[in-house]
Amino acid sequence: MCDAPAVQVGWMIAAMIVIGAGLTWEWSLWVIGLLGMALLTGAYVTTAKAWKKSFDTEKIIRAGLLELQQLTNSSEGLPMLHSSPESLGSDFQQMVDLTSRRMGDLEEERTKISSIVQNLVEGVVAFDSHGQVLFTNASACRILGIDDLEFQGQSIWEVVRNQELADLVERSRDLAIHERQFVEIDLHAPTRMTVEVYGLPFPLTNQKNGSVMVLHDVTQLRRLEQVRAEFIDNVSHELRTPLAAIIGYLETLIDEPSLETPNNRKFVHVAHQHAERLNRLVDDLRSLSEIESGKVIVRCEAVDLKSVVDEVTEMFQPQAQKKALHLMSHIDEEVRVWVDRDRVVQILLNLVDNAIKYSFDGGSISLNVQRLDKFLVLQVKDTGQGIPSTDLPRITERFYRVDRARSREEGGTGLGLSIVKHLVQLLNGQLRIHSVVGKGTNVEIEFPVPSQEKMPSTST
């Protein structure tokens, strides 16, 4: 591309040569004038084109610098673009220096992030939109038992032949940015381990999503959970026989006429109460252990909720009458839920028992049902002492008690609500607890309603 000043100088030199030659060779003035006019016309046309090209080039360069400046507009210290042509080289050099510094900063940040990810305990594997591996860290290679180099550019199915992992990678690409998928799998190579795997979408520049797989080794945690469950199961089993013998002998002693002394019968009665409480604790521990270990088999069917509630309220009427409590069921029509009937009875036994224990004498306990779209909400309301708001988040933890002294006095084990929570989860329901201190507690259980396909064709 021609430079306008250079073109001007070239034409001036050519004009001087022509005029000098004409004077030396004694050309006529009109010939020299005609040649001069031709040279001036050529100089004007050529210089104008050169100036136009230079101006267009400057505009393109300035537009590029302005766009680059806008792209780097998030930080301070940016050079100001000037309007004079003489400053173009200086502006361009400043922008080049700034871009170099920014690229250096970005490379430093990339190195930091890469170092952090490489040293994570969790395994991280990134995939492109075609499911090919873009990145792996050391933990992922250790968990999956593969070499980093052999993993690059391959699909998860080519390296780890696991259908659940391959499906997770596929599903994760179609998720929204803040969504994630989760599976727990057992791997047998290179060593046997249990791994929690989370799948997340990974936005790419080509408007398509890749995916990220995060692997967390929970082998030790699951082993400890199994040891704990087996310990509770074994201890509960071993305690049942001696407890049954102790309770049996104490019941015999209570009826023994020779105990008619001021304190003997009282002591035996207290020992019998604590033995009964210990027996309930062992039973609850065994139930909770079976639920958490997956030993409980759930057989769901369309269950008439009114009949279940009536059965439970009838069982607790004598206990409620001792405290002058009004135990009422407001379920007047047949409503069906898709649950295991025995588990619903177990849930209601715990909830109604708690409501009676912690209600003031002369209060009331009511069981109601609210209809939602695909769910029925069973409510157990009481007018008891209530639960402080600070204790509500932990009320379903095992052995957690709000008033420990009163709970022991009432014979509670601290496991009732924990059992309720796990049973509700097994039935695909939701548990919600609302309470106001001094006014009472409202426990809500959301049960699924059977669909038309699940309803029996004939009534029994």
Which value, in Å, is the radius of gyration of the alpha carbons in the chain?
Answer: 42
Q: Is residue 457 part of a domain?
A: no
Q: For the chain, how long is the longest CA-to-CA vector?
A: 162
Pairing of strands 375-382, 364-371: antiparallel
In this structure, the answer to whether residues 331 and 393 fall within a common structural domain is yes
Q: Is residue 110 part of a domain?
A: no
* Side-by-side strand order, sheet with 133-136: 133-136, 123-127, 209-217, 193-203, 181-187
Q: What average pLDDT does the chain have?
A: 76
Per-residue confidence band for 34, with pLDDT thresholds at 50, 70 and 90 = low
Q: Beta strands of 177-229 (E only): which ranges?
A: 181-187, 193-203, 209-217
Q: Where are the alpha helices (DSSP H) in 359-457?
A: 404-410, 416-426
User: What is the distance in angstroms between the CA of the first residue and the CA of the last residue of the chain?
Assistant: 96
pLDDT for 453 equals: 45
pLDDT for 372 equals: 77
Give the residue from 234, 264, 292 where a domain finishes.
292
Is the pLDDT at 9 greater than 60, yes or no?
no
pLDDT for 442 equals: 92
> Stretch 328-349: mean pLDDT, rounded?
85
**Residue with the larger pLDDT of the pair 452 and 414:** 414
Range of the domain at 234: 225-292
Answer whether 190's CB lies under 8 Å from 145's CB: yes
In this structure, the answer to whether residues 369 and 313 fall within a common structural domain is yes
In this structure, the answer to whether residues 323 and 428 fall within a common structural domain is yes
Take residue 247 and report the two structure tokens written for it. Answer: 């309770």
**Residue with the larger pLDDT of the pair 227 and 92:** 227
Residue % of the chain over a pLDDT of 90 = 2
In this structure, the answer to whether residues 444 and 306 fall within a common structural domain is yes
In this structure, the answer to whether residues 143 and 199 fall within a common structural domain is yes
Take residue 118 and report the two structure tokens written for it. Answer: 């490489």
Burial of 100 (0-12, 13-18, 19+ CB in 10 A): exposed
In this structure, the answer to whether residues 16 and 135 fall within a common structural domain is no
The angle formed by the CA atoms of residues 352, 355 and 356, to the nearest 5 degrees, is 90
Per-residue confidence band for 74, with pLDDT thresholds at 50, 70 and 90 = very low
> Stretch 42-47: mean pLDDT, rounded?
64
Residue with tokens 């405290």: 323
In this structure, the answer to whether residues 209 and 310 fall within a common structural domain is no
Is the pLDDT at 452 greater than 60, yes or no?
no
What's 205's domain CATH number? 3.30.450.20
In this structure, the answer to whether residues 154 and 284 fall within a common structural domain is no
Q: What is the spatial distance between Cα 234 and Cα 317, in angstroms, rounded to a whole number?
A: 35
In this structure, the answer to whether residues 310 and 441 fall within a common structural domain is yes
**Cβ atoms within 10 A of the Cβ of 215, count?**
23
Give the residue from 247, 266, 292 where a domain finishes.
292
> Stretch 23-44: mean pLDDT, rounded?
63
Tens of pLDDT, residues 120-163: 888 888 888 888 888 888 888 888 877 766 677 788 777 777 88
Answer whether 200's CB lies under 8 Å from 214's CB: yes
Take residue 165 and report the two structure tokens written for it. Answer: 């992992």
In this structure, the answer to whether residues 310 and 386 fall within a common structural domain is yes
Is the pLDDT at 49 greater than 70, yes or no?
no
The angle formed by the CA atoms of residues 447, 311 and 291, to the nearest 5 degrees, is 50
Per-residue confidence band for 12, with pLDDT thresholds at 50, 70 and 90 = low
> Stretch 347-365: mean pLDDT, rounded?
88
87-91, 164-168, 189-193, 373-377: least confidently modelled range? 87-91
**Residue with the larger pLDDT of the pair 249 and 64:** 249
Query: At 53, which helix (H) or strand (E)?
Result: helix 29-71
Q: Is residue 89 part of a domain?
A: yes
In this structure, the answer to whether residues 392 and 328 fall within a common structural domain is yes
> Stretch 282-290: mean pLDDT, rounded?
79
AA identity, residue 235: V
pLDDT for 78 equals: 47
Q: What is the spatial distance between Cα 224 and Cα 74, in angstroms, rounded to a whole number?
A: 50
Tens of pLDDT, residues 368-384: 888 877 788 899 999 88
The distance of Cα 308 from the centroid of its chain, to the nearest Å, equals 36
Give the residue from 54, 79, 105 where a domain finishes.
105
Per-residue confidence band for 35, with pLDDT thresholds at 50, 70 and 90 = low
